Structure 1
Amino acid sequence: MIDITNFKVNPRRCKTCPFNDDGCIDIRNTVIRRIITQEKSQVCHGSDNKTLCRGARDYQQQIYFRLGVLEAPTDEAWDKKRQELNC
């Protein structure tokens, strides 16, 4: 288990992101299952493993926004909710 407490989310998707239009569907589906069922963030596959995947975070934000958890599908709304929940 990796402690991601101090990891930043990539400002944009890397060129190998499975959430890109030409990304690997199998990896994308594996990541989606993980972030939904285990409620975890995804470490970026294309970086030095010290950042979080922008594509996975975008997906999480859309889901949580549609469920009414976030007021908008943005990093600002994510951080606001995280602060409200004290986590």
Structure 2
Amino acid sequence: MAGGGRRRGQAGGRHRLGPHRGDRGKNDPATPYEWAPKLTAQLKTATLVTYEGEGHGAYLSGSQCVAKLVDSYLLDGKLPRRGATCPAA
């Protein structure tokens, strides 16, 4: 690889993450919600969106609240406010 063997997005062998958001449902059977705050804290620049509904995949749950927050991040780079919560759809 050119540039000293490092890939783009790496610094000193570690990946750099810009601000990012995660969305987790309180009742997600695949990825327990309890993991979400811990992961968010470890990432340091992450913002957690809590979805109060059921199932895995909050973005496709039908929640307009979740869709608006995720779309705003994906399309405009705008992070949700810390502690953002969306009601069940």
Of structures 1 and 2, the one with the larger relative CO (CA 8 A, separation 6+) is 2
Which of the pair has more CA radius of gyration? 2
Do Structure 1 and Structure 2 share a fold, with TM-score over 0.5?
no
TM-score (norm 2): 0.26
Q: Higher helix fraction: Structure 1 or Structure 2?
A: 1
TM-score (norm 1): 0.26
Q: Higher strand fraction: Structure 1 or Structure 2?
A: 2
